[in-house]
Amino acid sequence: MIAQLIREKIKISDITKGVVASRPKQMYAWPGITRAANGDIIVAASERKFHVCPYGRQVIMRSKDNGASWSLPQEVYNSELDDRDSNLVTLKDGTLVLSWFTSNAFEMYPLKYKDFKDFKGRTARVSEQMRRELLGPWMLKSRDNGENWDPAPLRMPVGMHVSPTQLSDGSLFSIGWTNMFENEAEKLLCGYHSYDAGESWSKSVTFDCPQKDGKPILNENHVLEVAPGKLIAMFRKCGDFLYQAFSDDYGKTWTTPQQTKIWGYPPHLLKLSDGRILCVFSHRRTPYSIRGVLSADNGKTWDIDNIFTLYEWTDELDMGYPVSQEVAPGEILTVFYCSRRDEATPNTPEPWKTSSAQEGILSIRYRIR
């Protein structure tokens, strides 16, 4: 039955657009999504002023009505550096895990922001000790559905985009670059397991991944367990097609990542209640859009003849990073970001582009036939 449906032209119905978080002259980006143990839908994002800046902080928004309405952003974590990219996962015991990585990339932009006084002052305060203590991927736990959070985060060895993932054996698994913030160190694409809910990690695999300019060509990724021990990993390659790899042993060994025919980045995978796999991704070229594609065979093949568009813009802008949750059988909520904050010209009196189109963390709710 599933195979028969996948061969038919995909139809999207009951489309409802919404806004999860938006404030004037503020940017929200790189969201994560999960359903908490109490049934609430939680979305996390990095709230900030520009795409690269020292003001990034981790916030969450909560919906008690399956995404129809949202609370105001609640700050969860805010370091002296840039806390960016967000992921949420609800563990089997109900613990909510927020993860992100902290960056100092804004230090590389002093000339661009030389007249932006508060930005320059923030950069001047960064010390080598702060870099040692704050840079890298992190995770933070809540045991009451995100109302309160542990006082201090746990370090993760790697993490990029939607990471970590909890597997059916209870372990956490995360893929990312080693030595991500070490300029002179070798960078590898590796997978790590934790068997104690993130307290400690061990390297499981180094991916067979070519490099360019000393860095792996693949980066932001998502891992989905489609059956016990059987995993798909989908990877971003900037300005190119998505890559994917498979594991049959809970992520201890992997096939060599292969290019798919899905153009866009980065990916997010979701197994639907009807057994199909949904991959949503950003189409970051004209027409800028949020798109989706389905697989009826656990990712072995994708119905690329029926890639569908969920949201589209008429201009070129900073956007994307969709993530999805099936909020009811056959009903999907996908959230993503959109910003016209222009980081290239922050010294102008109005360092953002004006537009009547909504910015922030946006959502679309729909059904797929």
Instruction: Please tell me the distance from the alpha carbon of residue 288 to that of residue 319, in angstroms, as a whole number.
Output: 8
Phi, psi (deg, nearest 5) at residue 252: -75, -35
pLDDT of residue 116: 61
pLDDT of residue 157: 96
Q: What is the DSSP letter of 108?
A: G
Instruction: Please tell me the distance from the alpha carbon of residue 177 to that of residue 68, in angstroms, as a whole number.
Output: 37
Number of Cβ within 10 Å of residue 332's Cβ equals 22
Q: Decide: pTM greater than 0.75.
A: yes
Per-residue confidence of the chain (369 residues) as pLDDT tens digits? Answer: 333 333 347 789 989 999 999 998 899 999 999 999 999 999 999 999 988 889 999 999 999 999 999 999 999 999 999 999 999 999 999 999 999 999 998 887 655 554 566 677 788 889 999 999 999 999 999 999 999 999 999 999 999 889 999 999 999 999 999 999 888 889 999 999 999 999 999 999 999 998 998 899 999 999 999 999 999 999 999 889 999 999 999 999 999 999 999 999 999 999 999 999 999 999 999 999 999 999 999 999 999 999 999 999 998 899 999 999 999 999 999 999 999 876 544 444 454 455 557 899 999 999 998
Instruction: Please tell me the distance from the alpha carbon of residue 243 to that of residue 122, in angstroms, as a whole number.
Output: 38
pLDDT of residue 343: 53
Nearest 5°: the CA angle 20, 331, 29 is: 25
pLDDT of residue 121: 79
- HSE-CB for 79 with a 13 A CA cutoff: 22
pLDDT of residue 112: 55
Backbone angle region of 157, left / alpha / beta, with phi > 0 → left and psi within -120 to 50 → alpha: alpha
pLDDT of residue 3: 36
pLDDT of residue 94: 98
Backbone angle region of 39, left / alpha / beta, with phi > 0 → left and psi within -120 to 50 → alpha: left
